[in-house]
Amino acid sequence: MNRRTFLVTLGALAFGSLGWARRREGYRWSDASLADMYPYKLPDLPYPYEAIEPAVDAQTMKVHHQGHHAAYVNTLNKVLQDLPAFQSMTLEELLASLEKVPAAQRTQVRNHGGGHWNHTFWWQILSPKKQEPSIALQKRIAAEFGDWSSFRGQLLDAATRHFGSGWAWLILTPAGKLRILTTPNQDNPLMPYAEAQGKPVLGIDVWEHAYYLKYQNRRTEYLAAVWEHINWERVEALIG
Protein backbone atom coordinates (compact mmCIF):
# COMPACT_ATOMS: atom_id res chain seq x y z
CA MET A 1 0.00 0.00 0.00
CA ASN A 2 1.51 3.35 -1.01
CA ARG A 3 1.21 6.75 0.63
CA ARG A 4 -1.48 7.90 -1.80
CA THR A 5 -3.61 4.95 -0.73
CA PHE A 6 -3.29 6.12 2.87
CA LEU A 7 -5.05 9.33 1.88
CA VAL A 8 -8.12 7.94 0.20
CA THR A 9 -11.46 8.59 1.80
CA LEU A 10 -12.90 5.30 2.89
CA GLY A 11 -15.09 4.43 5.83
CA ALA A 12 -18.21 2.83 7.11
CA LEU A 13 -20.85 3.52 9.72
CA ALA A 14 -24.28 2.33 10.56
CA PHE A 15 -26.40 1.99 13.68
CA GLY A 16 -26.93 -1.54 14.94
CA SER A 17 -29.77 -3.02 16.87
CA LEU A 18 -28.89 -6.05 19.06
CA GLY A 19 -30.46 -4.52 22.10
CA TRP A 20 -29.13 -1.02 21.54
CA ALA A 21 -32.06 0.05 19.38
CA ARG A 22 -34.42 -0.49 22.29
CA ARG A 23 -32.62 2.29 24.15
CA ARG A 24 -32.22 4.59 21.18
CA GLU A 25 -35.00 7.03 22.15
CA GLY A 26 -33.02 8.06 25.20
CA TYR A 27 -29.77 8.47 23.27
CA ARG A 28 -28.86 11.86 21.83
CA TRP A 29 -25.54 13.57 21.28
CA SER A 30 -25.16 16.88 23.07
CA ASP A 31 -23.54 18.44 20.00
CA ALA A 32 -26.05 19.35 17.31
CA SER A 33 -23.57 18.58 14.51
CA LEU A 34 -23.93 14.87 15.27
CA ALA A 35 -27.65 15.16 14.51
CA ASP A 36 -27.13 17.16 11.31
CA MET A 37 -29.63 16.85 8.45
CA TYR A 38 -29.29 16.84 4.65
CA PRO A 39 -27.62 18.65 3.11
CA TYR A 40 -24.99 17.73 5.65
CA LYS A 41 -22.38 20.31 6.56
CA LEU A 42 -18.74 20.11 7.49
CA PRO A 43 -18.64 21.22 11.14
CA ASP A 44 -16.11 23.80 12.18
CA LEU A 45 -13.34 22.55 14.40
CA PRO A 46 -13.89 23.68 18.01
CA TYR A 47 -10.31 25.02 18.04
CA PRO A 48 -7.70 26.32 15.54
CA TYR A 49 -5.80 23.85 13.38
CA GLU A 50 -2.62 24.46 15.35
CA ALA A 51 -4.29 23.95 18.74
CA ILE A 52 -3.18 20.33 19.18
CA GLU A 53 0.48 20.99 18.30
CA PRO A 54 2.98 19.52 18.76
CA ALA A 55 1.00 16.29 19.16
CA VAL A 56 -0.72 16.80 15.80
CA ASP A 57 0.66 19.42 13.44
CA ALA A 58 -1.55 22.10 11.90
CA GLN A 59 -1.02 20.83 8.34
CA THR A 60 -2.24 17.36 9.24
CA MET A 61 -5.28 18.78 11.00
CA LYS A 62 -6.09 20.99 8.03
CA VAL A 63 -5.79 18.18 5.47
CA HIS A 64 -7.69 15.82 7.75
CA HIS A 65 -10.55 18.28 8.25
CA GLN A 66 -10.75 20.18 4.96
CA GLY A 67 -9.71 17.21 2.82
CA HIS A 68 -10.86 13.91 4.25
CA HIS A 69 -13.80 14.97 6.39
CA ALA A 70 -15.07 17.41 3.79
CA ALA A 71 -14.94 14.67 1.15
CA TYR A 72 -17.11 12.41 3.29
CA VAL A 73 -19.70 15.15 3.66
CA ASN A 74 -19.68 16.16 0.00
CA THR A 75 -19.95 12.60 -1.28
CA LEU A 76 -22.74 11.76 1.15
CA ASN A 77 -24.74 14.77 -0.04
CA LYS A 78 -24.15 13.84 -3.67
CA VAL A 79 -25.41 10.30 -3.13
CA LEU A 80 -28.51 11.52 -1.30
CA GLN A 81 -29.49 13.80 -4.18
CA ASP A 82 -31.10 10.72 -5.76
CA LEU A 83 -32.63 9.45 -2.50
CA PRO A 84 -35.29 12.00 -1.50
CA ALA A 85 -36.91 9.58 0.94
CA PHE A 86 -33.78 9.82 3.12
CA GLN A 87 -33.18 13.55 2.91
CA SER A 88 -35.40 14.44 5.86
CA MET A 89 -33.44 12.21 8.24
CA THR A 90 -30.81 13.31 10.71
CA LEU A 91 -27.45 11.61 10.33
CA GLU A 92 -28.38 9.32 13.22
CA GLU A 93 -31.67 8.36 11.60
CA LEU A 94 -30.08 7.85 8.20
CA LEU A 95 -27.47 5.49 9.57
CA ALA A 96 -30.02 3.68 11.71
CA SER A 97 -31.98 3.08 8.49
CA LEU A 98 -28.99 1.91 6.48
CA GLU A 99 -30.53 -1.44 5.57
CA LYS A 100 -33.43 0.42 3.94
CA VAL A 101 -31.10 2.36 1.65
CA PRO A 102 -31.14 0.88 -1.88
CA ALA A 103 -28.33 -1.59 -2.36
CA ALA A 104 -26.78 0.45 -5.17
CA GLN A 105 -26.15 3.40 -2.83
CA ARG A 106 -25.85 1.64 0.52
CA THR A 107 -22.09 1.22 0.53
CA GLN A 108 -21.49 4.88 -0.24
CA VAL A 109 -23.95 6.00 2.42
CA ARG A 110 -22.25 3.65 4.86
CA ASN A 111 -18.73 4.75 3.94
CA HIS A 112 -19.23 8.49 3.75
CA GLY A 113 -21.92 8.79 6.38
CA GLY A 114 -19.57 6.86 8.62
CA GLY A 115 -16.67 9.13 7.82
CA HIS A 116 -18.77 12.19 8.64
CA TRP A 117 -20.01 10.80 11.95
CA ASN A 118 -16.71 9.40 13.16
CA HIS A 119 -14.73 12.52 12.41
CA THR A 120 -17.29 14.85 13.96
CA PHE A 121 -16.96 12.71 17.09
CA TRP A 122 -13.15 12.70 16.93
CA TRP A 123 -12.76 16.47 16.80
CA GLN A 124 -14.77 16.72 20.02
CA ILE A 125 -12.64 14.10 21.78
CA LEU A 126 -9.49 16.17 21.34
CA SER A 127 -8.70 19.03 23.71
CA PRO A 128 -6.15 21.81 23.08
CA LYS A 129 -5.50 21.99 26.81
CA LYS A 130 -4.23 18.93 28.56
CA GLN A 131 -6.82 17.61 30.98
CA GLU A 132 -6.58 15.34 33.99
CA PRO A 133 -9.45 12.88 34.34
CA SER A 134 -11.59 13.56 37.37
CA ILE A 135 -11.34 11.36 40.45
CA ALA A 136 -14.85 10.10 39.74
CA LEU A 137 -13.90 9.06 36.20
CA GLN A 138 -10.71 7.39 37.39
CA LYS A 139 -12.70 5.40 39.95
CA ARG A 140 -15.22 4.33 37.31
CA ILE A 141 -12.44 3.23 34.98
CA ALA A 142 -10.57 1.46 37.78
CA ALA A 143 -13.69 -0.47 38.76
CA GLU A 144 -13.74 -2.13 35.33
CA PHE A 145 -10.10 -2.17 34.22
CA GLY A 146 -8.21 -2.54 37.50
CA ASP A 147 -6.59 0.90 37.55
CA TRP A 148 -6.01 3.91 35.30
CA SER A 149 -2.62 2.68 34.13
CA SER A 150 -4.05 -0.67 33.07
CA PHE A 151 -6.87 1.04 31.19
CA ARG A 152 -4.45 3.30 29.34
CA GLY A 153 -2.24 0.35 28.46
CA GLN A 154 -5.13 -1.76 27.19
CA LEU A 155 -6.64 0.99 25.04
CA LEU A 156 -3.37 2.14 23.49
CA ASP A 157 -2.24 -1.44 22.96
CA ALA A 158 -5.48 -2.18 21.10
CA ALA A 159 -4.95 0.93 18.98
CA THR A 160 -1.33 0.00 18.28
CA ARG A 161 -2.08 -3.60 17.34
CA HIS A 162 -5.05 -2.81 15.12
CA PHE A 163 -4.10 -3.90 11.61
CA GLY A 164 -4.49 -1.28 8.92
CA SER A 165 -6.85 1.69 9.07
CA GLY A 166 -9.53 2.02 11.70
CA TRP A 167 -10.42 3.16 15.18
CA ALA A 168 -9.91 2.19 18.81
CA TRP A 169 -12.92 2.70 21.06
CA LEU A 170 -14.10 2.80 24.61
CA ILE A 171 -17.82 2.06 24.61
CA LEU A 172 -20.66 1.92 27.06
CA THR A 173 -22.53 -1.29 26.35
CA PRO A 174 -26.33 -1.58 26.61
CA ALA A 175 -25.70 -3.40 29.90
CA GLY A 176 -23.93 -0.31 31.26
CA LYS A 177 -20.41 -1.79 31.16
CA LEU A 178 -17.32 -0.20 29.66
CA ARG A 179 -15.46 -2.10 26.98
CA ILE A 180 -12.46 -1.57 24.68
CA LEU A 181 -12.53 -2.70 21.06
CA THR A 182 -11.31 -1.73 17.61
CA THR A 183 -13.07 -1.48 14.27
CA PRO A 184 -11.73 -1.38 10.70
CA ASN A 185 -11.99 1.56 8.32
CA GLN A 186 -14.83 3.85 9.49
CA ASP A 187 -16.82 1.13 11.25
CA ASN A 188 -17.77 1.83 14.84
CA PRO A 189 -19.57 0.18 17.74
CA LEU A 190 -22.95 1.58 16.72
CA MET A 191 -22.88 -0.84 13.79
CA PRO A 192 -24.19 -4.40 13.86
CA TYR A 193 -20.89 -5.49 12.28
CA ALA A 194 -18.76 -4.65 15.31
CA GLU A 195 -17.71 -7.37 17.72
CA ALA A 196 -19.78 -5.55 20.35
CA GLN A 197 -22.34 -2.78 20.07
CA GLY A 198 -22.66 0.21 22.34
CA LYS A 199 -22.38 3.95 22.76
CA PRO A 200 -18.93 5.33 21.87
CA VAL A 201 -17.56 7.46 24.70
CA LEU A 202 -13.98 7.65 23.44
CA GLY A 203 -12.57 7.05 19.98
CA ILE A 204 -9.03 7.30 18.62
CA ASP A 205 -8.43 7.62 14.90
CA VAL A 206 -5.68 5.26 13.72
CA TRP A 207 -6.02 5.91 10.00
CA GLU A 208 -2.54 6.81 8.75
CA HIS A 209 -3.81 10.08 7.30
CA ALA A 210 -4.39 11.17 10.92
CA TYR A 211 -0.65 11.11 11.67
CA TYR A 212 1.49 10.16 8.65
CA LEU A 213 2.83 13.62 7.78
CA LYS A 214 4.45 13.95 11.21
CA TYR A 215 4.96 10.39 12.44
CA GLN A 216 5.15 8.30 9.26
CA ASN A 217 4.79 4.68 10.48
CA ARG A 218 5.33 5.50 14.17
CA ARG A 219 1.77 4.91 15.33
CA THR A 220 2.82 4.25 18.93
CA GLU A 221 4.45 7.69 19.14
CA TYR A 222 1.33 9.34 17.71
CA LEU A 223 -0.92 7.54 20.18
CA ALA A 224 1.19 8.59 23.16
CA ALA A 225 1.04 12.19 21.96
CA VAL A 226 -2.72 12.40 21.36
CA TRP A 227 -3.39 10.68 24.68
CA GLU A 228 -2.20 13.91 26.30
CA HIS A 229 -4.98 15.79 24.49
CA ILE A 230 -8.02 13.64 25.25
CA ASN A 231 -11.04 15.66 26.33
CA TRP A 232 -11.77 13.74 29.52
CA GLU A 233 -14.64 16.07 30.44
CA ARG A 234 -16.39 15.03 27.24
CA VAL A 235 -15.67 11.35 27.87
CA GLU A 236 -17.08 11.57 31.38
CA ALA A 237 -20.19 13.41 30.17
CA LEU A 238 -20.83 10.72 27.54
CA ILE A 239 -20.48 7.94 30.10
CA GLY A 240 -23.00 9.77 32.25
Assess whether pLDDT exceeds 60 at residue 108.
yes
Q: What is the residue-wise DSSP string for 49-84?
A: GGGGTTTS-HHHHHIIIIIIIHHHHHHHHHHHTT-G
For each of the domains in the chain, give its residue range(s) and CATH number, in order of start: 3-125 (1.10.287.990), 135-239 (3.55.40.20)
60-64, 91-95, 220-224: segment of lowest average pLDDT: 91-95
pLDDT recorded at residue 34: 65
Q: What is the DSSP string of 116-179?
A: HHHHHHHHHHB-SS--PPPHHHHHHHHHHHSSHHHHHHHHHHHHHH--SSEEEEEEE-TTS-EE
183-206 per-position pLDDT tens digit: 999 888 877 778 988 899 999 999
User: Which distant-in-sequence residues (6+ apart) come within 8 Å of 84 by Cβ?
Assistant: none
The string of pLDDT tens digits covering residues 42-85 is 999 999 999 999 999 999 999 999 999 999 999 999 999 999 99
pLDDT of residue 22: 29
Q: Lowest-confidence range among 18-27, 37-46, 97-106, 180-189?
A: 18-27
Give 138-186 pLDDT, tens digit per residue: 999 999 999 999 999 999 999 999 999 999 999 999 999 999 999 999 8
Asked if the model's pLDDT at residue 227 lies above 70, the reply is yes
Residue 33 pLDDT class (50, 70, 90 cuts) = low
Q: How far apart are CA 111 and CA 94, in angstroms?
A: 13
pLDDT at 187: 84
Q: What distance in Å separates the CA atoms of residue 206 and residue 169, rounded to the nearest whole number?
A: 11
Mean pLDDT, the chain, whole residue set = 85
Judge residue 52's burial from the number of C-beta atoms within 10 Å of its C-beta, 0-12 exposed, 13-18 middle, 19 or more buried: buried
pLDDT score recorded for residue 31: 55
> Which pLDDT score is estimated for 19?
31
